[in-house]
Amino acid sequence: MHVTSQAPGARPWRAYGRLTISIGGTLKYYSRLAAIAGAICTAAALVLVGPARSDAATYDGTDPVSTGCGNSAITLDSKVVGPNGSATIQLRYSTSCRTTWAKLIGGNAGSPGDCAASYAIIHRNSDGLQYRATWTTADSGSIHTLQVNDANVTSYAQATVDYCFAGPYTARTGSF
């Protein structure tokens, strides 16, 4: 079918370009063009985002620093632990490894017979797998747990800090 004008006396379509619909030629051309464009978009998405990591589960129970996962870490959520704000629990996420772990900043080693040592927990909601890191006298600044696979599941971080003069206090991040 070939359209050259809308009605007698109306401006021809060619003023805006010629509209040609051909079942055999033009439709096949646009179908091929759409398929090629779709393939290019898919390839670009894989390059920019990267493929889903099928080996994410192999990171369960490993250290985010020694595996290099900590190099792409972001903080998904954080909460202050206790009333004075000197300790914070963070839920950390590796964008390259698709793992999470808990990081506790500003805890303490406790004092035997007086108060307990601070600790952090990472908890994966889908199966209850969790790892705990306890503050020792050798720690300064922060501690972190081992990491868990977080591909297509959610996890949260939790910490308990005993300030010896008050507490213990517990805080938990949201699940992400």
Beta strand segments in the chain, E: 73-81, 87-94, 99-105, 119-124, 130-134, 142-144, 148-149, 155-161, 169-172
Domain count, the chain: 2
Q: How many Å apart are CA 131 and CA 2, to the nearest integer?
A: 71
What does the pLDDT read at residue 167? 86
- 18 and 67, same domain (yes or no): no
DSSP state of 7: S
- Cβ-contact 106, 142 below 8 angstroms: yes
Same-domain check for residues 22 and 101: no
For residue 139, what is the domain's CATH number?
2.60.40
The answer on 96 and 34 residing in a single domain is no
* 29 & 116 share domain: no
Q: Tens of pLDDT along the chain (176 residues)?
A: 444 444 555 444 444 444 444 445 554 555 565 556 655 655 454 444 444 444 667 999 999 999 999 999 999 999 999 888 889 999 999 999 999 999 999 999 988 878 899 999 999 999 999 999 999 988 889 999 999 999 999 999 999 999 888 889 999 999 99
Would you say the pTM of this structure is higher than 0.85? no
Domain enclosing residue 19, as ranges: 13-49
Short-list 143, 78, 77, CA closest to 105: 143
Are 30 and 79 within one domain?
Answer: no
Regarding whether 163 and 95 lie in a shared domain, the answer is yes
In a domain, 2, yes or no: no
